[in-house]
Amino acid sequence: MDYLEGLNPEQKAAVLQTKGPVMIIAGAGSGKTRVITFRVAHLIRNGVDSFNILVLTFTNKAAREMRERINKMVGPEAKNIWMGTFHSVFAKILRVEANKIGYPSNFTIYDTDDSKSVLRAILKEMQLDDKLYSVNSVLNRISAAKSSLVSPVDYQNNPQIQADDDSSKRPLLGKIYETYVQRCYRAGAMDFDDLLFKTNELLRDHPDVRNKYQHKFKYIMVDEYQDTNHSQYKIVKTLAAVSENICVVGDDAQSIYAFRGANIQNILNFEKDYPDLKIFKLEQNYRSTQNIVNVANSVIANNKEQLKKHVFSEKENGDKIKVMRAFSDNEEGKLVADAIMFQRSSNGLKWHDFAILYRTNAQSRSMEEALRKNGIPYKIYGGLSFYQRKEIKDLIAYFRLTFNPNDEEALKRVINYPKRGIGDTTVDRIIVAADKNSITPFEVIIEANRYVEKAPASLFAFAAMIQSFQVITKNQSAYEAALHIAQHSGLLKDLYEDKSVEGLNRYENIQELLNGIKEFSEREDIEEKGLDVFMQDVALLTNDDKDKDKDADTVSLMTIHSSKGLEFPQVHIVGLEENLFPSQMSLNSRSDLEEERRLFYVAITRAEYKLTISYATSRFKFGTLISCEPSRFLDEIDAKYLDLDFTAKPVSAGGSFDDERNAWSRKADTFSKPKAAAAAPVKTTSILAKAHVPSPGFKPSDTSNLQVGMQVEHERFGFGKVLTLEGNKPDVKATIFFKEIGQKQLLLKFAKLSIISGVE
């Protein structure tokens, strides 16, 4: 038993309890993986045949790590364990048993693109509107049905489902689902959801197969049990029905995948399935400081649906959790970048010691730009860099083509997106004609009747559209031109009509790009503000290394969902604002709100010894500046764990630093203002509506002797107070707090300021 040394008492007890149903509630950083691997090793060392052990995980990475650890403890026997993700393990079983359900053993596994291709063909054959029946939304609907073990027949015979489809004006979804399943079957193919759906079907309809695997898998362990969906739950319950030697490991406080079909009730109600269940709680957090653990506990305590536990840390108290307030999302990015620079230089850290976590992918823009301006290397995890996302590249391709019609790659990217009836054959003919006549493809398009056989009318319309964009860009601001192109190209409309989760994200990303252009248009430190100048900046932003070493020394940027299972010495959680985090879509039910709170809990517990939280009091949304209020989650953190020292920023126009310090020392007054009702519309404030009318006789002053503390007037931004001055003449930058719009940084040689009074 020497190999069990190093386990704490609760971990050891969980490892030794090998018989009967067991639930291990593993708090964040409590050594969950260690317990699973030791438990498997203990079984093998005590005579259990490794072929009779089934370990189910949610990632291949987790399975590999566990197998490597077990191999070090028991040797080659580790290779015989049935260990892997749900999909990989049950695909293996289906290969053996496929003939029982009418599939060949070499069936194809369709990925998402394959599934979408099949659905596109079906929608075309059925002559359905591909906007109303968008491929993404149809595939999501089918996936949800399969995860809930609803067959096409069940789907079409369920009155509630049919009523839902009728109300969404998509009554043929059931028929599409049925046809899709038939096509996959005819092709001898299964999609990812089928790997679980068909396993359930196999175990349900074939007693011999069910009996075989129930007796084969005498010991079953499931990692991250809180993330299982109904289909996974049924498989595990069926396989464990004979031996009942089932051990599930998880943390209800980290259940954050309901949007993928995960059902938290699986872990909350596990004891109802197994009344003689033995429960072990791993409550010691080995990852984080006491302050970080205490903050996480104070937040999650507000959830009603949970398995009670008391997570604790025996590490040092550590720093209090810093809360930073910014006046805009761009300033939030600057504050975060500055904080990382300071912490790295003062503590001798590496860039990879830092992570920035956000609720939505669109938030990465302001963070990326701030990091780049500071020369901080970074990498986006769990997603593409903002400017590398398809929808962003599509709109930028329109910009590129507008300014340079000879840009062949941009032309090929957008000529038929959104769809306008210009097929691949036509594009090929255009390219051939251009090569043959030594002219550009766009010149071919302009005179398509001369160069292209059976040229579609849409070619001329496309050329006219691009030429109209060229006129617009000469007469409009960068933002107005960009918005015009996004709208009149059809791209914005195409994304808006896709109501799937992915579609909404893409639409939000386009809006975020337009927000960035809006801010660029209003900068006072540059004279040239056309869309072509913005494009030059973007060209530099996107010219990054695509083949970065995955182990390179870079700051990590990712959504909180992508961060689960990871840990970093220092973590920044950004965007803690109502309707952003928690998401506005989560405010309609307690269960949704509690999932958002669990997401915040996951974010907090990624930090090892320093955690910083930030929010903005305003941010652009759809080209309009909206006021933001701090997230309700900040209310839920005990003030004694927080550092709310914001003396560097005025609390209100004209406020002194002493007023600021006093205001922020009263946390209740800061965060506990009444929250708007969930259904209340968001109040927005247009930038134009806030335009300042200059005072009579307004005249810009000589600012060469401007000093900190002076009161000034700007012809557009109104009255303000100079906070800081930095740089050397003639490139001095002034940070000014304006009463109406908050903080702005202006380049004095371009700013039109009138000095109202001297230093206060």
* pLDDT exceeds cutoff 50 at 417: yes
Residue 286 exposed, middle or buried by CB count within 10 Å (0-12, 13-18, 19+): middle
Q: Is residue 319 part of a domain?
A: yes
| pLDDT for residue 687 | 30
Is 474 annotated among the ligand-binding residues? Answer: no
Count CB-CB contacts under 10 A for residue 383.
16
Percent of the chain with pLDDT over 70: 90
Amino acid at 155: Y
Give yes or no: 284 in active site: no
| pLDDT for residue 649 | 43
| pLDDT for residue 116 | 87
* pLDDT exceeds cutoff 90 at 88: no
Kindly report the CATH number assigned to the domain that includes residue 147: 1.10.10
* pLDDT exceeds cutoff 90 at 484: yes
Q: Is residue 3 part of a domain?
A: no
Average pLDDT score over residue span 158-173: 90
Choosing from 17, 33, 162, 214, the catalytic residue is 33
Is 685 annotated among the ligand-binding residues? Answer: no
Q: Which of these, 342, 361, 353, lies nearest to 378 by C-alpha position?
A: 353
Kindly report the CATH number assigned to the domain that includes residue 81: 3.40.50.300
On whether both 396 and 525 belong to a single domain, the answer is yes
> Where does a domain end: 124, 155, 187?
187
Choosing from 226, 254, 363, 570, the catalytic residue is 254
On whether both 319 and 465 belong to a single domain, the answer is no
On whether both 417 and 497 belong to a single domain, the answer is yes
| pLDDT for residue 527 | 66
| pLDDT for residue 654 | 33
| pLDDT for residue 174 | 94
Is 27 annotated among the ligand-binding residues? Answer: yes
Integer Cα distance of 125 and 171 in angstroms: 16
Phi and psi at residue 260, in whole multiples of 5°? -95, 0
Is 14 annotated among the ligand-binding residues? Answer: no
* pLDDT exceeds cutoff 80 at 93: yes
* pLDDT exceeds cutoff 50 at 669: no
Average pLDDT score over residue span 468-487: 91
Is 32 annotated among the ligand-binding residues? Answer: yes
**Which has the higher per-residue pLDDT, 604 or 85?**
604
On whether both 524 and 413 belong to a single domain, the answer is yes
- Each residue of 311-357: pLDDT tens digit? 999 899 999 999 999 988 989 999 999 999 999 998 889 999 999 99
Choosing from 165, 194, 224, 252, the catalytic residue is 224
| pLDDT for residue 538 | 66
Q: Which of these, 176, 168, 618, 544, lies nearest to 366 by C-alpha position?
A: 618
Q: How many domains does the chain have?
A: 5
* pLDDT exceeds cutoff 90 at 405: no
Residue 151 is part of which domain span? 108-187
On whether both 320 and 462 belong to a single domain, the answer is no
Token couple for 572: 């920044």
| pLDDT for residue 540 | 46
| pLDDT for residue 536 | 63
Q: Which of these, 477, 476, 474, 447, lies nearest to 459 by C-alpha position?
A: 447
Residue 293 exposed, middle or buried by CB count within 10 Å (0-12, 13-18, 19+): buried
Average pLDDT score over residue span 570-588: 91
Give yes or no: 224 in active site: yes
Whole-number CA gyration radius for the chain? 30
Q: Which residue has the tokens 């092709």?
A: 187
| pLDDT for residue 383 | 59
Is 751 annotated among the ligand-binding residues? Answer: no
Token couple for 99: 């003939």
> Where does a domain end: 162, 187, 212?
187
Cβ neighbours of residue 716 closer than 8 Å, sequence gap 6 or more: 691, 692
Average pLDDT score over residue span 158-184: 91
* pLDDT exceeds cutoff 90 at 395: yes
| pLDDT for residue 651 | 31
Token couple for 36: 């699973």
Q: Is residue 328 part of a domain?
A: yes
Kindly report the CATH number assigned to the domain that includes residue 443: 1.10.486.10
**Which has the higher per-residue pLDDT, 85 or 656?**
85
Confidence of residue 742 (pLDDT cuts 50, 70, 90): confident
Residues in the chain, how many?
760
Confidence of residue 695 (pLDDT cuts 50, 70, 90): confident
Query: Is the peptide bond preceding residue 418 cis, with omega within 30 degrees of 0?
Result: yes
Give yes or no: 32 in active site: yes
Distance of CA 628 to the CA centre of its chain: 20
Choosing from 12, 32, 281, 287, the catalytic residue is 32
Window from 195-209, 237-251, 517-531 with minimum mean pLDDT: 517-531
Alpha-carbon distances, residue 331 vs 337, 341, 542, 742, 745 (angstroms): 10, 15, 21, 11, 10
Q: Which of these, 204, 195, 310, 305, lies nearest to 258 by C-alpha position?
A: 305
| pLDDT for residue 646 | 59
Q: Is residue 685 part of a domain?
A: no
* pLDDT exceeds cutoff 50 at 56: yes
* pLDDT exceeds cutoff 80 at 187: no
Amino acid at 265: Q
| pLDDT for residue 547 | 37
Q: Which of these, 116, 89, 118, 114, lies nearest to 195 by C-alpha position?
A: 89
* pLDDT exceeds cutoff 70 at 548: no
Is 616 annotated among the ligand-binding residues? Answer: no
Integer Cα distance of 749 and 527 in angstroms: 10
On whether both 52 and 148 belong to a single domain, the answer is no
Give yes or no: 182 in active site: no
Amino acid at 365: R
Integer Cα distance of 153 and 178 in angstroms: 8
Confidence of residue 657 (pLDDT cuts 50, 70, 90): very low
> Where does a domain end: 486, 502, 530?
530
Give yes or no: 170 in active site: no
Average pLDDT score over residue span 104-121: 78
Average pLDDT score over residue span 281-297: 93
Count CB-CB contacts under 10 A for residue 499.
15
On whether both 26 and 89 belong to a single domain, the answer is yes
On whether both 501 and 399 belong to a single domain, the answer is yes
For residues 419 and 491, the answer to whether their CB atoms sit within 8 Å is: no
On whether both 165 and 274 belong to a single domain, the answer is no
Is 322 annotated among the ligand-binding residues? Answer: no
Query: Is the peptide bond preceding residue 582 cis, with omega within 30 degrees of 0?
Result: yes
Q: Which residue has the tokens 């006789």?
A: 697
CA dihedral 146, 152, 157, 160 (to 10 degrees): 40
For residues 587 and 482, the answer to whether their CB atoms sit within 8 Å is: no
Bridge-based pairing state of the strands 618-621 and 642-643: unpaired
On whether both 73 and 206 belong to a single domain, the answer is yes
Query: Considering the entire predicted model, what is its pTM?
Result: 0.68
Question: For all residues of the chain together, what is the average pLDDT?
Answer: 84
Q: Which of these, 403, 34, 367, 89, lies nearest to 217 by C-alpha position?
A: 89
**Which has the higher per-residue pLDDT, 109 or 209?**
209
* pLDDT exceeds cutoff 60 at 758: yes
Average pLDDT score over residue span 69-93: 87
Confidence of residue 1 (pLDDT cuts 50, 70, 90): low
| pLDDT for residue 256 | 82
Q: Which residue has the tokens 């975020």?
A: 512
| pLDDT for residue 263 | 85
Give yes or no: 33 in active site: yes
Q: Is residue 699 part of a domain?
A: no
For residues 381 and 387, the answer to whether their CB atoms sit within 8 Å is: no
Q: Is residue 176 part of a domain?
A: yes
| pLDDT for residue 382 | 67
For residues 571 and 612, the answer to whether their CB atoms sit within 8 Å is: yes
For residues 466 and 442, the answer to whether their CB atoms sit within 8 Å is: yes
Long-range CB pairs of 661-670 (<8 Å, 24+ gap) are: 667/639, 667/642, 668/639, 670/630, 670/644
Where do the H-state alpha helices sit in 170-289?
A: 173-186, 192-205, 207-216, 230-239, 265-268, 270-273
Q: Strands, E, within 516-650: which ranges?
A: 555-559, 568-573, 607-616, 618-621, 624-627, 642-643
Average pLDDT score over residue span 433-456: 84
On whether both 502 and 393 belong to a single domain, the answer is yes
* pLDDT exceeds cutoff 70 at 28: yes
**Residue 734, SS3?**
strand
For residues 203 and 94, the answer to whether their CB atoms sit within 8 Å is: no
The secondary structure element, H or E, covering residue 191 is strand 189-191
Choosing from 69, 320, 606, 610, the catalytic residue is 606
- Each residue of 492-515: pLDDT tens digit? 998 888 877 778 888 988 998 998
Phi and psi at residue 696, in whole multiples of 5°? -55, 135
* pLDDT exceeds cutoff 60 at 539: no
On whether both 393 and 511 belong to a single domain, the answer is yes
Count CB-CB contacts under 10 A for residue 693.
9
